[in-house]
Structure 1
Amino acid sequence: MSMKQAKWLVATLLILGVMTYLWGRAPSKLSTDVPVTGTLTQVETPDDCQLKGEGCTITIDDLGDFRVAMPATVAPLKKFDFTVEPLGEAARSVGSVRVDFEMVDMDMGINAYRLERLADGHYQATVILPVCTTDRSDWLANLTIHSTEGAYLLRLPFAVDRSRPSEG
């Protein structure tokens, strides 16, 4: 093998390695999803929205109502389902739903999920949140709903449960 061929081989392997690393870290961030029409509109969420447990209903002008929920207990490193239910006519115009979890003023890595549309019209993703080494529990679920009317962002605060029930 000539020196020129060896350089090309090393360069190719390096590029493949970087691409594999990026794909493994954040495949959802590498997609080219764009809203069907319009810009990203931030929606005010009600102050009394309790995301955990029964969830809450959020109204998006020109789109309709959505029920957003997660279990009453959400602990780090434990799987849970995040669910969005378009109510009434809202279901007709929804294209895709994503949620990105972030801790306020703390880098917890990429925690983004594309919700899958189920047969009953709900959107759902199974989520696992990382552990915060400083014992913080304040999170935001940044929910993005892409529709024929545009894209909408809802920033929903919640807290993870730090105390774990005893097992045994």
Structure 2
Amino acid sequence: MPIIIDSMVASTTSLRLNILILTTLLILGAAAWYAAHHLTGRDGIDWQAAEAPCDLNRGPCSATLADGSRLRFAIDGDKPIHALTPLRLHVESDAGDIRRVRVDFEGVGMEMGLHRFPLEQTAEGQFAGPAQVGICTEEVMPWRARVRIETSQGWQGAWFDFTAVRGV
């Protein structure tokens, strides 16, 4: 006996299946975009590494930003750098039209939360402000300082690795 399929039922089922496939693809696309832009730390900044040699426990370090301007970064305070000890951050740059400068500390190899320090302008192209490295269970903890500079052209940045010790 032949099976008779109502064409209206088949058409509705096909439409529902197409909508389900399209919805699934849109959700997967949104999840991929989110992962690429948020979970991997992509923030639109073309990050530049510090120039070698760089040891913030010994003195200032330099980097060349994406636009070719220079940046100098220093952490003032007791050396070696100690966790939970007041520090003073200094940034100098010849980038034009600097609107804001901030420094983010992030743990390297261990999630340590967000430690963000906005700096105030002290002179033309010079910025400074207080900071503090968070405490860790490790005796010596590797950290990364991400220096962000906002100009009329957008954000630029350089990163500087350093270590901090737990005890005083």
* Coarse TM-score class (shorter-chain normalised): 0.5 to 0.7
Gaps in structure 1 of 5+ consecutive residues: 1-38
Query: Is 1:76 aligned with 2:78?
Result: no
Gaps in structure 2 of 5+ consecutive residues: 1-43
Aligned equivalent of 1:45: 50
Tell me the distance in 1 between the aligned counterparts of 2:113 and 2:89. Answer: 19
Aligned equivalent of 1:55: 60
Q: Deviations over 1:120-146 (max 9, x none)?
A: 542112111121013242110011111
Contact (CA 8 Å) 2:138, 2:166: kept in 1 or not? no
Aligned equivalent of 1:158: 162
Query: Structure 1 residue 112: deviation in Å?
Result: 0.7
Query: Is 1:110 aligned with 2:114?
Result: yes
Count of residues in Structure 1 that have an aligned counterpart in Structure 2: 123
Tell me the distance in 2 between the aligned counterparts of 1:110 and 1:60. Answer: 23
Aligned equivalent of 1:98: 102
Query: Is 1:145 aligned with 2:145?
Result: no
Query: Structure 1 residue 148: deviation in Å?
Result: 2.0
| TM-score computed with the length of structure 1 as normaliser | 0.64
Kindly provide the amino acid, as one letter, of the partner of residue 57 in structure 2.
K
Query: Structure 1 residue 162: deviation in Å?
Result: 4.1
Tell me the distance in 1 between the aligned counterparts of 2:86 and 2:129. Answer: 10
Match of 1:127 among 131, 134, 145: 131
Kindly provide the amino acid, as one letter, of the partner of residue 54 in structure 1.
G
Structure 2 counterpart SS, 1:100: strand
Q: Among all aligned residue pairs of Structure 1 and Structure 2, give the percentage whose two residues are the same amino acid.
A: 27
Query: Is 1:67 aligned with 2:100?
Result: no
| TM-score computed with the length of structure 2 as normaliser | 0.64
Query: Structure 1 residue 54: deviation in Å?
Result: 2.5
Structure 2 counterpart SS, 1:73: coil
Structure 1 counterpart SS, 2:165: coil
Query: Structure 1 residue 83: deviation in Å?
Result: 0.6
Tell me the distance in 1 between the aligned counterparts of 2:154 and 2:56. Answer: 24
Structure 2 counterpart SS, 1:78: coil
Structure 1 counterpart SS, 2:46: strand
- Higher-Rg structure is 2
Kindly provide the amino acid, as one letter, of the partner of residue 127 in structure 1.
A
Tell me the distance in 2 between the aligned counterparts of 1:120 and 1:62. Answer: 19
Contact (CA 8 Å) 1:53, 1:70: kept in 2 or not? no
Q: What is the root-mean-square deviation of aligned Cα atoms in Å? A: 2.0
Tell me the distance in 2 between the aligned counterparts of 1:85 and 1:114. Answer: 14
